[in-house]
Chains A and B, each alone.
Chain A
């Protein structure tokens, strides 16, 4: 009964979305306040409808209602409650329902907190949001109904893929979707602005917090995914340039560019049509990701199993949503006139440079991801584009970008002085030199020495350069440390946000480069009593025993790790689980984190030829910096979001009054 209720609610949401997508648009066109007022009410109704559907499916999972096909295919009574709930989105239908729910949540948020927006803009943005929802609800209802029944119900379900029974992966999709779908706000605002034919500083100020929120979620989602891969796949890798990973990176890159270009629109009333285009492209890339994962058009480790009708439906949806938006863009954007002027050497100039490089980087990842498909469609055979390609091309594009990242914030608005900025950055250059030298000494092949010198040098340049900018901003150089200390806490949150985000990226770069270059690995058979030394750390193996989990059994190994000085550092208990229902094993690496690296142990199968187990021991240097850097970036986003000029509900007048006196960046 509850299941049918959920299905009905979904149909209701579908109808409401259509109303919300049409009526307010008409109202805004005619200046009819009554019709426009449908939008917020409909947003609430749509949220309630989709929310009810989601709750109904969750209920079916929690009570293990095996008359629902989706529950049969992805759940089991023996599963812990947490994974019964997260199993709701561990499959195509449920995750799509979550996607639509998040879309409704963002729509509702806009309806609730958008009171200070011009009514027509709000009505149009909500209508666009609803039209996207309409398409996806149709996709759900017509090709991927999560409420389909099965008769007769089986005694038990087939269980959730054990790989998904993990906290990292359980919460990776919701964050990812919050990011993807969050960019729909920028998209809706962009399309609404194109309909109105007007983009101004106020528009940019409304779009930025939504984009920032989506960016924060997407950063978290990508970070969680990488972290999960790191500890679960059992060999210390965290990024593989897999098509589906790229699909999440693409909107992140475009969204990052959008965050920066929106600043120029806000400050200088320039780069308007470019910013609108970026807003559309960012969401387009989110949709592309969804399409790639669900259509089976690309093969990837992460893809959902797919059937062709779904692929066709979602391709049609993609073509309509984006085709209309880009056509509208081609029609209206030429008439958007930018006002403010600035010199190439200025804050705006550096933001523009950032955008050019980010766009090239986004295009590169897109090209690499789609190239095999394009070559095949053109009948030129099959090629693979693997990590080496991205490491060369994307890596090289990142060099000027990171170099400019330290300089840009040092430049004044409108016209800056490059010489003065560079003179201030001497400490950063020195730090980069030292870090590069350290990187070379740490490496043992010429190839890795070059990469290490560049990577570590850039990381140090960015971190120290960002700190120099903080000092400069605080008045340290002009008024001394006392003034600086007094001023720092009072600096705009958005400025702190930029500082943190840039610092985080610097830290993460060091982690990414170090962990890829200097990983030490040792694979061997070990019996109880054996020891193995890896990168100076001695792993003593004490054997393995069987342990029992809620719905799995595991072989758990035990190691004691001693440092180079012989002192015991930690014990590591990696295990290999075997899930009863799907009889699939998963590895659970045991990791001991220090500030400069991870001690990482995995226990594998019993050895065939002699007594003992296959064990894999790693020293993964600087990996923690990737996670620390990502968290710092997210913190930066949050701090910036809390800036009172972004805070929703602040009267528009107060913001306009403050506009002229701002002196900070992202």
Chain B
């Protein structure tokens, strides 16, 4: 068993845990975590996370703000809820990770390290504009969010897959599908925004 020696260059923000408890959805339940490891062990893509939820929660308690807010853990979560179902202390792991992702994007941390934030932005643009996600537009927006050159490169690399999708009727040609009540959707989202502001959720 190899354990990395302590890194003395790490900066600790001793108010960070308190900030998470008070500002992240489900964060107040974080204190219940007993570090058993069931969440990270159960995670179907746990090996693709830099820390995994258990370690991330310990880092929050330790005050490792920079490392937590730039972590890939909250962005790689697929919301399968296996950790939530199995957690012996009923910590809402998925909710905490989702809100950590949102807050790390909002506060400008996520862009530094994680491209999933670009995907999330493209996805949300399509969802709020059309009431549906249009694969072509979401993908294009996501690819070109990395710049013109990389956008072309990524697009070309996936062209064959896209054409096969079209051929098999899995992706359509023409205008994006959209829902009928787009005006109502806009009103709903505006109301949600208003409530969030009022409740201090932003």
- Check if A and B associate: no
Partner-A contacts on B (CB < 8 A): none
